[in-house]
Amino acid sequence: MLFFLALSISCTFLCIDAVAGDGICSTGASATTGGCVAYEHADFDGRHQDLRPNHIKTYVGDRMNDKISSFRVSPGCRVVVWEDRDKGGASQAFGECQYIGDDWNDDISSWQCECR
């Protein structure tokens, strides 16, 4: 039991470190037309998917599944992502991000645009 606990704690720390280390995210938000945009490639390139403020995609669709690499985010908003559809598996929050990092690249299956 203790062993499992220690293992899950160290994994949590490692995952957070990895995202902070590889990801190229800014704390400042870019001026978009409201809401969040996910992109297939880094640097806001390739196919994109828009999400209005406080909306959620429980499945990104076959075209975008396990392909998202960057996000644009309106002021006051952030994205929350999940590795599986229907908010399943690991989760992480991002601001404006030209590359989400090796841990999350091409992994996202559901996401949400959270705004104040």
Buried/exposed 24-36: b ≥16 CB within 10 Å, e otherwise: ebeeebeeeeebb
**Contacting residue, 17, 45, 66, 86, with Ca ion by CB under 5 A:** 66
Q: Is the dihedral of CA 61, 62, 65, 71 positive or negative?
A: negative
Q: How far is the CB of 16 from Ca ion (least distance, A)?
A: 19
**Contacting residue, 92, 98, 109, 110, with Ca ion by CB under 5 A:** 109
Within 8 A by CB and 6+ apart from 96, the residues are 25, 26, 28, 29, 30, 71, 72, 73
Closer residue to Ca ion (CB): 34 or 85: 85
Residue 69-108 contact track with Ca ion, rule CB under 5 A, x = bound: x-------------x----------------------x--
- Binding residues for Ca ion, rule: CB under 5 A, are 66-67, 69, 83, 106, 109
